[in-house]
Copies of this chain bind each other. A is one copy, B any other.
């Protein structure tokens, strides 16, 4: 029988679109008296946050910012940045979070590529802008951000060789605090930032209001709805991942909607971070392993109580050694997984009641996994030929993903966008297994897997073994070509200072070879050479730069430079 009913396939005009402003609106409802803090410089409640964001709306309008314009920010992790997370997209503009750790040339590239219309820049980064200002093609407007204005007797602002439109705090203070943020299409772009691979120029990744709304809802559901590592509205939240980096993993949006007390630390100095953490009673953070190592190894860490602190680790692999060191300090550490292109969260370790009673060794196995799949994220394993592999905990393949908050491609880069979404699945470039319990275990990057004697060896697995050897502070393992075996692993090691005189690379190899004899590791895992270095090359976001290691340190690793 023919169906005579009208089935509307377009949403009604009455239906509220999924916009970032709806997330902010919640922050006035439940615990608006909670505080948002910037170091020891600035404190406000959620009423004031909302008021300042309305003022920011007026400032942006006055400065001529139109829907579709791009507003760039170069700032430390501050309350101002949080205000821009909301205020900029809420006027319909796109927030470009500039990676201030890039080289001036790369920063210039991203500013011009993003066609920034205005840059809000912290005084500390004016020196960078001075060197590239003449080559910026689209931006004629600059607003200065300064921490000096929070001092009782503010110092003079740093002068610039180019004109600016004023200082952020002064502009806000002069602006009206009523602003009616209008509705618009939920697929409007909200944010844009650049991801730095190991090849070519930085790639622009962008997210819409709808995607950030759904990412926030997905995370709230995941963290509040199920088992442990819960993100409750009672947590005190401090990001230790730069806000320019995938919007600090989306957590500031979650924290704002949950009405958490929030602490923004500015720069990352271990002693200051730990003192701020204790003073403000921070209970939840997230960071990359390098930062956690820095905090764990700080002398201050031994003097304070970190047993109320939960940390989610991402960005690169959490080694067993580091996880153990953190657990020994009482830190509730777990790993998550995601990438710039996925907004970024795809999975986080979730310990249930029973797992929390396990002994440390067994917990470490779980805490160093990549986590359990987040709601509404679909991850599958794919082999080289594009076939799906089973989620049986054994099969190893590249993780491909789908979901409602994945980036749609790279800005003005159809070729790489198409590569990213080959066959309708987002290709992560990560090799993993997935258990029937939806737990993901990453083996390696597709590019970093070491193919030796017909075996696929995970460079991360070998690094994990190294992380548990006495004296090893940092390690990077890469595969280099070998006539007989195809590839062989080589290791770069940074020793802890107190071991500098008493440990050698050859000694470490011997320890590994002994473990082979005891049958605890496979013989082909032992690198051909272990080279001690004062520092390991890293990317601008603190990940081991294995491409650089393979290309620039090849001779050192092979012993050709002895």
Per-residue B-contact encoding for A350-381, CB less than 8 Å = 1, 0 else: 10000000000000000000001101101000
Do B188 and A406 touch (CB < 8 A)?
Answer: no
Bound-state CA distance A115–B424 (Å) is 37
Do A3 and B66 touch (CB < 8 A)?
Answer: yes
Name the contact of A421 in the complex, choosing from B14, B94, B187, B406 (C-beta under 8 A). B14
- For residues 1 through 44 of chain A, which have their beta carbon under 8 Å from a beta carbon of chain B? 1, 3-18, 22, 25-26, 28-30
Do A29 and B372 touch (CB < 8 A)?
Answer: yes
Number of copies of chain A assembled together = 2
Do B70 and A5 touch (CB < 8 A)?
Answer: yes
Do A402 and B16 touch (CB < 8 A)?
Answer: yes
Q: Does A69 contact B (CB under 8 A)?
A: yes
Bound-state CA distance A6–B376 (Å) is 28
Partner-binding segment picked from A164-172, A220-228, A321-329: A220-228
Q: Give the interface residue-count category, chain A.
A: 35 or more
Name the contact of A225 in the complex, choosing from B7, B13, B28, B233 (C-beta under 8 A). B233
Per-residue B-contact encoding for A56-92, CB less than 8 Å = 1, 0 else: 0000000000101110000000000000000000000
Name the contact of A15 in the complex, choosing from B11, B115, B233, B408 (C-beta under 8 A). B408
- For residues 392 through 437 of chain A, which have their beta carbon under 8 Å from a beta carbon of chain B? 402-404, 406, 408-409, 411-412, 421, 424, 426
Do B14 and A210 touch (CB < 8 A)?
Answer: no
Q: Does A117 contact B (CB under 8 A)?
A: yes
Do B3 and A69 touch (CB < 8 A)?
Answer: yes
Given contacts A10-B187, A29-B373, A226-B233, contact A406 B221 (CB under 8 A): no
Bound-state CA distance A403–B376 (Å) is 22
Given contacts A221-B220, A372-B30, A409-B12, contact A5 B68 (CB under 8 A): yes
Bound-state CA distance A85–B430 (Å) is 37
Q: Does A308 contact B (CB under 8 A)?
A: no
Which of A18, A30, A402 gathers most chain B CB within 10 Å? A30
Q: Does A193 contact B (CB under 8 A)?
A: no
Judged by DSSP, the binding face of A is loop
Do A14 and B68 touch (CB < 8 A)?
Answer: no
Do A68 and B225 touch (CB < 8 A)?
Answer: no
Do A258 and B424 touch (CB < 8 A)?
Answer: no
Which of A22, A115, A224, A372 gathers most chain B CB within 10 Å? A224
Bound-state CA distance A232–B496 (Å) is 45
Bound-state CA distance A468–B243 (Å) is 56
Which of A1, A10, A14, A138 gathers most chain B CB within 10 Å? A14
Bound-state CA distance A409–B412 (Å) is 41
Q: Does A111 contact B (CB under 8 A)?
A: no
Q: Does A524 contact B (CB under 8 A)?
A: no
Q: Does A512 contact B (CB under 8 A)?
A: no
Do A11 and B258 touch (CB < 8 A)?
Answer: no
Q: Does A516 contact B (CB under 8 A)?
A: no
Bound-state CA distance A438–B1 (Å) is 49
Do A226 and B30 touch (CB < 8 A)?
Answer: yes
Which of A1, A232, A421, A438 gathers most chain B CB within 10 Å? A1
Q: Inside 8 A of A411's CB, which chain B residues have their CB?
A: 5
Q: Inside 8 A of A376's CB, which chain B residues have their CB?
A: 16, 22, 25-26
Q: Does A257 contact B (CB under 8 A)?
A: yes
Q: Inside 8 A of A4's CB, which chain B residues have their CB?
A: 115
Bound-state CA distance A204–B67 (Å) is 39
Q: Does A466 contact B (CB under 8 A)?
A: no
Do A18 and B404 touch (CB < 8 A)?
Answer: yes
Q: Inside 8 A of A406's CB, which chain B residues have their CB?
A: 14-15
Do B227 and A408 touch (CB < 8 A)?
Answer: no
Of all A-B residue pairs in the complex, the 8 with the closest CB atoms, nearest first, are: A12-B408, A224-B224, A224-B225, A29-B438, A16-B404, A217-B217, A3-B68, A220-B221
Can you list 22 A-B contacts (CB < 8 A)? A1-B117, A1-B138, A5-B94, A5-B115, A5-B411, A6-B412, A7-B94, A7-B188, A8-B408, A9-B185, A11-B187, A11-B210, A15-B211, A16-B376, A25-B376, A217-B221, A220-B220, A220-B221, A220-B224, A224-B225, A225-B232, A226-B233
Task: Supply 18 further A-B pairs (C-beta < 8 A) apart from A8-B189, A224-B225, A225-B257.
Answer: A1-B138, A4-B115, A5-B411, A9-B188, A11-B187, A11-B210, A12-B408, A14-B424, A15-B404, A15-B406, A15-B408, A22-B376, A26-B375, A26-B376, A29-B375, A29-B438, A30-B438, A226-B259
